[in-house]
Structure formats: structure tokens, C-alpha cells
Chains A and B, each alone.
Chain A
Amino acid sequence: MISIAVQENDFESGTEINRLSAMGGGAISSFVGQVRGDGKLRALELEHYPAMTEKALRKIAVKASEQWALHGITIIHRVGRLQVGEQIVLVCTCSDHRQAAIEACSYIMDQLKTVAPFWKKEILQDGTENWVEERQSDLDAAQYWKN
């Protein structure tokens, strides 16, 4: 079962993990991304393309479910203004075996970084704002799964 949510509200990762583990299996993997504080950052503003976001996330989840034997996938991505330390994204996968759960979770995050229509703007302590640029390391990570 694939569950996708794009929301301003925070999420409770424990609740989401429990919901997924109730589907059976025996191997649950999860990843939570947070706003990283590097001293200069005050907040992130997350913009997205509402008509496309869920479609893009679902496509990633469906591809993962075709490659690995999964009982369930949960993807939650937040939008709007997020302060340092706040949660941004949760990916959780459930399978019979750990390799499938871990690999699928990693695959979904790597794909999400390059094909899900979200854009981050950094708001610094001094008030300046910058749109975050794509990183080669994220492109390389997404490419890894194609090899």
C-alpha cells in the first residue's frame, strides 16, 4: 500500500512507522530529513508544484514497489516555512527482509531529490534569501540506481 502526503503540518514518525509495521513483514526502514542548521540559516521556505507533486511521488513509489517486494511505502513531504531542526521529509518502507526495505527507502529518497517538484529557499539570519541550487552529489546518487 502506497501512502503519499504533502502537507504544511509536522508528522510523527513513530506513528507512521507503527502504521506501516502493522501491514506485516518484519523489516521496516525509515528516513527522516530535517532542516540542517549551519549557523547562518534561520529557516527554509519549501515551494512545490501542487498539480504535479503527488503524481511525481507516486511514480517513484510505484517504481520502488516494482523493484522490491514491499508491503507498504509511506512518503510525507512538508511545504511552507520550516525552522532549523524541523522535519522536512519522511520515507518509510516495509518488507519481509531488511535489504529490500533499506534499499527501497534509499532509492525513494535519491529519486525524490531529483524528480519531485519541490524548491528550497534559504532564509539566513541576516535576512538574505537564496534559492538552493541542485547538487551534483544528488544527481550522482539518483544515477546510481540506473547502473
Chain B
Amino acid sequence: MSHQLNVVYFSWVKERIGRDQDIIDCPENAETVAQILEFLQSKDAVYQEVFADLKKLRFALDQDFVGLETLLGSAKELAIFPPVTGG
């Protein structure tokens, strides 16, 4: 069963992609955060460029920080953004 995922972007990730979110149907073989990034990169060159250097990106699944190898499970929202700079 395909699972819908809301992918949200912030800071320069949002600016370079040109929108603040995508709603995607997760492919059957995408089980981790890294595999979702690969899926997006296979769809459009803009993702290839923005996600080229993974060291510059951070990820949150349903609003909790996660690593690239984290399983998506039944998460509804994946956020992709640069390291935070508040305070």
C-alpha cells in the first residue's frame, strides 16, 4: 500500500527548491530517509543539486530529528533543512 508523505523544506533548502513542501506517494522500496532523498533526486535535477552535499542537511521525521538511515515507518512528515541557527 502506498503511503503519502508530506516533505517540508526550510531556509535555503526551501529557496533553492522553490516551494515549501511536496506531497509524495512513497515508492514501495523507499523505507528510509536516504531512500526518499534518492527518490526525489531521481525525479528532478533541482533535488540532485540541493541534496548534493548531505553533510549540509538535517532531517526531522514527524518533528523529531533523525538520521539518514532512519526508517520512515508510518511517519506523515519529513522535514529537510540546514543546521539550525537560532538563539
Chain A residues proximal to chain B, CB less than 8 Å: 33, 46-49, 51-52, 55-56, 77, 88-89, 109, 112-121, 131-134, 138
B51 at the A/B interface (Cβ < 8 Å)?
Answer: no
Establish whether residues B83 and A118, one from each chain, have CB atoms under 8 Å apart when the complex forms.
no
For the complex, give the distance between the alpha carbons of A89 and B84 in Å. Answer: 15
Q: Which residues of A contact B11 (CB under 8 A)?
A: 47, 119, 121, 131
- Other than A89-B86, A134-B82, give 4 A-B pairs with Cβ distance below 8 A: A46-B86, A49-B60, A88-B87, A113-B86
0 or 1 for each of B35-77: is its CB under 8 Å from A? (1 = yes): 0000000000000000000000000100111000000000001
- Residues from chain B with a CB closer than 8 A to the CB of A46 are 86
Binding site for A on B (CB under 8 A): 8, 10-12, 60, 63-65, 77, 79, 81-87
Which of chain B's residues has its CB closest to A55's CB? B63
| CB-based contact B85/A133 at 8 Å | yes
Contact: A77 with B12, CB < 8 Å? no
For the complex formed, measure the closest distance between the CB of B49 and the CB atoms of chain A, giving whole angstroms: 16
Residues of the A chain whose Cβ atoms lie less than 8 Å from the Cβ of B83: 114, 133-134
Is B77 a contact partner of A51 (Cβ separation < 8 A)?
A: yes
Complex-state Cα separation, A133 to B81, whole angstroms = 12
